[in-house]
Amino acid sequence: MSKIFVAGATGRVGQEVVKQLAAAGQEVLAAGRKLDRLPKGELITPVAFDFTWLPDQMAKLLTGVDAIVFTAGSRGKNLLQVDLNGAVKLMQAANLAGIKRFVMLSSAYSMDQAMWGR
């Protein structure tokens, strides 16, 4: 069994990732700002997490973690702090914690249908 940290676990994709990982028997740390909105379960531990933290603060939560899945997004409300800097800081935290696996969900041109299919 692996221990997987899911950043953005309150979002639509994050919730599905958490659910599927737990169903596959993986231990999941479901991370987000609002503990009351985070998924819970036998293999799911909700974890308070904020992208405004420094990488060394983030790294403290990553002890024993085998992989990180980044599904967070600000929905355009805080692109620099969450979508850009938050991702980079979490990558730095992963490096500090010695984690080699980092999966990042992202998209480009998702709101511009003219770019789809290119």
Q: What is the pLDDT of residue 56?
A: 97
Three-state DSSP class for 27? strand
- What is the per-residue pLDDT across 79-102, written as a single tens digit (0 to 9) for each? 556 666 888 999 999 999 999 999
Q: What is the pLDDT of residue 110?
A: 66
DSSP lists the bridge partners of residue 29 as 5, 45
Q: Radius of gyration over alpha carbons of the chain, in Å?
A: 14
What the block records as the tokens of 13 is: 């994709």
Predicted TM-score of the model (pTM)? 0.86
Q: What is the pLDDT of residue 76?
A: 58
- What is the per-residue pLDDT across 17-36, written as a single tens digit (0 to 9) for each? 999 999 999 999 999 988 89
Helix locations, 4-103, DSSP H: 12-23, 55-59, 85-97
Q: What is the pLDDT of residue 31?
A: 96
Alpha-carbon 85 to chain mean position = 13
Phi–psi pair at 102, nearest 5 degrees? -140, 115
- What is the per-residue pLDDT across 50-73, written as a single tens digit (0 to 9) for each? 988 999 999 999 999 999 999 987
Q: What is the pLDDT of residue 80?
A: 57
Which secondary structure element, helix H or strand E, spans residue 82, and what is its range?
none
